[in-house]
Amino acid sequence: MELKVEIISTESIKPSSPTPPEQRELKLSLLDQVAPGSYTPLLFFYPAGQLDRGDHGGRCRKLKESLAETLTRFYLLAGTLVEAYLVECNDEGVEFSEARVACQLADVMDKPDDVAALHRLLPFDPDAVLDRDCILAVRYNAFDCGGVVIALCVTHKIVDGTSATTFTKAWAAACRGDHELTVVPTFDAAELFPPMEIRGGNKRQSRMDKIVTKRFIFSKSNIAALKQEANSDAFLNQRPPSRVETVSAFIWKRFMALARSKPTTTAAKRFAILHAVNIRNRLSPPLPPHSFGNLWWFAVAEAPIEEEKDYPFLVSKIRNAITEIDGEYVTALQDAEKAMRAKMKMGQMVYSGEVELYSFTSWCSFPIYESDFGWGRPAWVCSPGRPYKNVVLLVNTGDGEGIEAWVNLEEKDMPVFESDPELLAFTSSSS
């Protein structure tokens, strides 16, 4: 889709109150340091029917004022990432741009796989290597029909999914004047997970592989059917498989089928899946949900490549791997050298070809549809495209019942994957 996007204005929104001198430097935690250096895109779609038509000027003014107010609490978002271990909280500001889009909002929502079109609504290309390592940028997109898309790019180096949605929910509450939901984040992750002294290691590189992103929707009924298939003797006297466990294992199995169809996979000894786990509530005592930063680690589930395992086995492997990320495990991560050795070991196995690796992250527990800026809940929220192959993002559908799986594969692999009959039996491309 050719989107005609005209930038109307661009300005820097600074915190409404200056950041105190004692908060001007913030060390990253070890978990921030090893987090991906990519930018996370976020788009919130609001159809014209729930907006005051034509009031773009007043709406933008409220968004800017509430953003400035929110940045006084989330002050590091208005700073600059200067090293792989440090943020200067210098109140340089968040770039806020306003754009006019010569298109109907429905035209974009009807083509969710057109990631290039979705990226045109963002403040900048999330794959770009920028001159300045900004942390957050925002764009307000006004469509011909009167609909609006609020779009954000935020660096994963400092902000995980929980932190991103905590911020957007807080900003939305401030914009609609709901001060009962005021959130004051904490920035003490570096005290729990001390950083290693790594200088000059923060510069991002352009992506090397040609990645294609496609969305696959698992409806409530299809998830129920998969749950029934997965709920074998392996879960006797346990809770049934969750939606995320069920869908993750199913996609993992289809990835395995894809890999086995390629001659290059024969060198690998096993398949492995990394599943991101929020560790805030796994520490003792648990951290509050508004603890800011990359407070997650990866659970690892493996399966031998020479022996095809059944679906319930894969579901149980994922559950067991996630369960292992308990308080004792998270406490061990506070030893920086041990944590780095674990991460490097996995990297070496992947690099050597010993492991065929897939990465999953779930946002299904995040309140992304609660971002009401004063004109109601968004009709659709998406985070399209990741610059890495074999990566899957799971997000709730708008009704909270289904799951959208955003699958990122190499260009040569996607045609085979998306035509997989077993995949197509349980998914659709539209809700």
Q: 73 or 133: which carries more pLDDT confidence?
A: 73
In a domain, 247, yes or no: yes
In a domain, 201, yes or no: no
The SS3 assignment for 61 reads helix
Indicate if 282 and 355 belong to the same structural domain. Answer: yes
Locate the DSSP E strands across 171-255: 211-218
Indicate if 184 and 233 belong to the same structural domain. Answer: no
User: What does the mean pLDDT of the chain come to?
Assistant: 89
The SS3 assignment for 93 reads coil
Residues paired with 80 in a beta bridge: 88, 134
Indicate if 231 and 179 belong to the same structural domain. Answer: no
**CA pair distance 64, 67, nearest whole angstrom:** 5
pLDDT digits (tens, 9 = 90+) for 389-410: 999 999 999 999 999 999 999 9
Indicate if 334 and 373 belong to the same structural domain. Answer: yes
Indicate if 164 and 230 belong to the same structural domain. Answer: no
Q: Which of 133, 160, 372, 413 is the catalytic position?
A: 372
Indicate if 173 and 221 belong to the same structural domain. Answer: no
pLDDT tops 60 at residue 206: no
Q: Which of 156, 160, 290, 413 is the catalytic position?
A: 156
Give yes or no for a contact between 339 and 350, defined as CB atoms under 8 angstroms apart: no
Q: Which of 124, 158, 192 is the last residue of a domain?
A: 192
156 is catalytic: yes
Indicate if 138 and 237 belong to the same structural domain. Answer: no
Which amino acid makes up residue 407?
V
Contacts of 278 (CB under 8 A, 6+ apart): 160, 162, 295, 296, 365
In a domain, 408, yes or no: yes
Structural domain containing residue 166:
5-192
Q: What is the strand order of the sheet 355-362 is part of?
A: 211-218, 403-410, 391-396, 355-362, 270-278, 296-304
pLDDT digits (tens, 9 = 90+) for 406-426: 999 999 999 999 999 999 999
Which amino acid makes up residue 156?
H
**CA pair distance 348, 344, nearest whole angstrom:** 6
**CA pair distance 246, 319, nearest whole angstrom:** 10
127 is catalytic: no
In a domain, 420, yes or no: yes
Domain count, the chain: 2
Burial class (CB in 10 A: 0-12, 13-18, 19+), 355: buried
Find the CATH number of the domain harbouring 334.
3.30.559.10
pLDDT digits (tens, 9 = 90+) for 21-74: 999 999 999 999 889 888 999 999 999 988 876 688 889 999 999 999 999 999
Residue appearing with tokens 């292992």: 324
Indicate if 298 and 353 belong to the same structural domain. Answer: yes
Indicate if 228 and 95 belong to the same structural domain. Answer: no
Indicate if 147 and 281 belong to the same structural domain. Answer: no
Q: Which of 162, 192, 222 is the last residue of a domain?
A: 192
Which amino acid makes up residue 121?
L
Tally Cβ neighbours within 10 Å of residue 205.
Answer: 8
Residue appearing with tokens 């192959």: 389
In a domain, 197, yes or no: no
**Closest alpha carbon to 247 in 403, 65, 42, 86:** 403
